[in-house]
Chains A and B, each alone.
Chain A
Amino acid sequence: MLEAKEIHAYYGLSHILFGVSLEVKKGEIVCVLGRNGAGKTTIMRSIMGLTPPRQGQVIFKGKDITRTPVHKIAQMGMGFVADNRRIFPDLTVEENLDIASRGGQQKGAWNKEKIFTLFPALKNITSRRGGYCSGGEQQMLAVARALMGNPDFLLLDEPTEGLAPLVVRELMEQIGRLREEGLSILMAEQNVRSALKLANRVYVIDRGEVRFQGTVEELEANEEISKKYLLV
């Protein structure tokens, strides 16, 4: 589904990612774990084309998208849920969903009704402005908004950040259900425990490099990595 090969990314002059390679196969939930400032968000931005890597390649569905404009990447079926959610504050919940909707006439396509069965909480606040929603509502809306474009691959950047434990559990359940719908997901997380419950495979990032890759069981068996790079 998605493959990043040796990507190097920069913000201006500062070198952030040093040859990161990772892969997400169809139907997988893959987690990128790491502390604050490790480079998780930059990985997400590089794949989405928002911070295009200066070296290396991003392959999506067999096509090189390293230099593809952001909106074209999105149209190819990549959904993006940014850190801090980035809901449009002046638009209502419904408008946030409407503008993201993209030609989903085929069977099983995401529309507002289907969104409301996955996130019933959104149904009662359709006319509320995005800026007035709670953190949990905004996070659901951010995921819902990405789904409205009918992606088959989803980038989730720290979806549980700043959410109450109960909301985290609910959100994780919903993300698990998306995998059942056939979506592949790359998720960046600091909240290691909740992420590991869902993940098929894990990458641990520190200072812009991959320090560990493997299954959840392999990570749990490797105490050194957990102690060194994660806050467990």
Chain B
Amino acid sequence: MDFLTLLPDFSTMTSQVFIGLSRAMILFMVAVGLTVSIGVLRVINFANGTFYMLGAFTAWSIAMWVGGTAGFWVALLVAPLVVSVLGLVVEAGLLRRLYNRPRLLQLLLTYAVVLLFNDITKIIWGVDFKTIEVPLKGFVTLFSNVSLPSYNLILLASGPLVAFGLWFFTNHTMVGKITRATATDREMVDALGINSKKIFAIVFMLSCYLAGLGGALIAPTTNIVVGMGITILVNAVLVVVVGGLGNIWGTFLASIIFGVGESFGLLIAPRFAIVFPFAIATVLLILRPTGIMKSVW
């Protein structure tokens, strides 16, 4: 039998690539928050997926409260901010006390935050899944015969925008430059008269903001459930490791490889689709054990 006949036609494949890419952008937002907190705070923040989930739930509440199509756009602006403020509470109240302690304690703490917020979410929003109506209806046609849901264009644009924003922040703002300095030598930053505690808090809030943004963006395309935080965290950790710890561009690249890899998996062997990202990660890590790009650890 000719193997090629098993493959779907070109337009299905192309649209699958674009859907994979849009998923990749959301994965990137969670993963980049994780990698930045690893790079600067040296903390592996398991709760980052939880902030993604909270972004989705908060977006749902805001969208319902405001109502209409405008509801979602307001939610998209406000929900990530709410999540980042929540992040600040977690950082200042809990995590800050453990920066100089063994990594296992930090991991246990962020895991405790995951469990805590899962239960709080159930208390506030209940156990039933929630949905938000897609704010942009219809399809767009690309290359004459590839069609894609219009809303995916927003997802596709969001990733590069966030990556560009982060690049601008780290290279062209004073706080960003200080953040890069803090990533390599926190003590010396303090010795220059800069309160590195504040920088840590800003970085943590930023990572929560991005996770919340990811959650709000994905909300109209999926069922909003309590378990969504853990699911994305597992993939995000993998992306961060494959991309090179602390490397923003490595994370971007690895997210794309994952997203596209997964959607090809769905096309070729749907039953084993879930295996694809892990298989890709295994191969990449065998080839480059420290990640595709330079790791800061």
Do A99 and B191 have beta carbons less than 8 Å apart? no
Docked complex Cα distance between A220 and B182 (Å)? 43
Return chain B residues, CB-CB under 8 Å to A86.
Answer: 185, 188
Do B192 and A74 have beta carbons less than 8 Å apart? yes
Partner-B contacts on A (CB < 8 A): 48, 50, 69-71, 74-75, 80, 82, 86, 88-91, 95-96, 98-100, 102, 145-146, 148-149
Do A71 and B180 have beta carbons less than 8 Å apart? no
Do A50 and B177 have beta carbons less than 8 Å apart? no
Docked complex Cα distance between A22 and B188 (Å)? 24
With A95-B177, A99-B178 as known contacts, state yes or no: A69 contacts B184, CB within 8 Å.
no
Segment of B7-15, B70-78, B117-125, B193-201 in the binding face: B193-201
With A98-B174, A145-B192 as known contacts, state yes or no: A70 contacts B180, CB within 8 Å.
no
Q: Pick the residue among B178, B180, B190 that contacts A74 (CB under 8 A).
A: B190
CB of A129 to closest CB in B, whole Å: 11
Do A90 and B180 have beta carbons less than 8 Å apart? yes
Do B191 and A70 have beta carbons less than 8 Å apart? yes
Closest to A98 in B: B177
Return chain A residues, CB-CB under 8 Å to B174.
Answer: 98-99
Could you list 16 further interchain pairs (A-B, Cβ under 8 angstroms) beyond the known A74-B191, A90-B181, A91-B180? Answer: A70-B190, A71-B192, A71-B196, A75-B193, A82-B191, A86-B188, A88-B180, A88-B184, A88-B185, A89-B184, A95-B180, A99-B174, A100-B193, A102-B192, A148-B192, A149-B193
Do B181 and A50 have beta carbons less than 8 Å apart? no
Closest to B191 in A: A80
With A50-B187, A70-B187, A89-B184 as known contacts, state yes or no: A99 contacts B177, CB within 8 Å.
yes
User: 5 closest Cβ contacts across the A-B interface?
Assistant: A74-B193, A70-B190, A80-B191, A88-B181, A75-B193
Docked complex Cα distance between A189 and B245 (Å)? 38
Q: Which of B179-217 contact A (CB under 8 A)?
A: 180-181, 183-185, 187-196
Do B177 and A100 have beta carbons less than 8 Å apart? no
Do A100 and B192 have beta carbons less than 8 Å apart? yes
Most buried by B among A70, A89, A145: A70
Return chain B residues, CB-CB under 8 Å to A90.
Answer: 180-181, 183-184
CB of B212 to closest CB in A, whole Å: 28
Do A149 and B177 have beta carbons less than 8 Å apart? no
Return chain B residues, CB-CB under 8 Å to A91.
Answer: 177, 180-181
Partner-A contacts on B (CB < 8 A): 174, 177-178, 180-181, 183-185, 187-196
Docked complex Cα distance between A90 and B185 (Å)? 11
Docked complex Cα distance between A166 and B169 (Å)? 40
Docked complex Cα distance between A92 and B80 (Å)? 33
Q: Pick the residue among B188, B190, B193, B196 that contacts A88 (CB under 8 A).
A: B188
Closest to A81 in B: B191
Docked complex Cα distance between A82 and B193 (Å)? 14
Closest to B193 in A: A74
Sample (29) of A-B pairs whose CB atoms are under 8 Å apart:
A48-B191, A70-B187, A70-B191, A71-B193, A74-B194, A75-B193, A80-B191, A82-B191, A86-B185, A86-B188, A89-B184, A90-B180, A91-B177, A91-B180, A91-B181, A95-B177, A95-B181, A98-B174, A99-B174, A99-B177, A99-B178, A99-B181, A99-B194, A100-B192, A100-B193, A102-B193, A145-B192, A149-B192, A149-B193
Closest to A148 in B: B192
Return chain A residues, CB-CB under 8 Å to B185.
Answer: 86, 88
Return chain A residues, CB-CB under 8 Å to B183.
Answer: 90
Docked complex Cα distance between A78 and B21 (Å)? 51
Return chain B residues, CB-CB under 8 Å to A149.
Answer: 192-193
Return chain B residues, CB-CB under 8 Å to A50.
Answer: 187, 190-191
Docked complex Cα distance between A148 and B191 (Å)? 12
Return chain B residues, CB-CB under 8 Å to A75.
Answer: 193
Return chain A residues, CB-CB under 8 Å to B196.
Answer: 71
Return chain A residues, CB-CB under 8 Å to B178.
Answer: 99
Return chain B residues, CB-CB under 8 Å to A71.
Answer: 190-196
CB of B187 to closest CB in A, whole Å: 6
Do A82 and B188 have beta carbons less than 8 Å apart? yes
Docked complex Cα distance between A4 and B15 (Å)? 71
Return chain A residues, CB-CB under 8 Å to B193.
Answer: 71, 74-75, 100, 102, 149
Docked complex Cα distance between A146 and B188 (Å)? 10
CB of B200 to closest CB in A, whole Å: 13
Docked complex Cα distance between A145 and B189 (Å)? 11
Return chain A residues, CB-CB under 8 Å to B191.
Answer: 48, 50, 70-71, 74, 80, 82
Docked complex Cα distance between A190 and B185 (Å)? 25
Closest to A89 in B: B184
Docked complex Cα distance between A74 and B196 (Å)? 13
Closest to A70 in B: B190
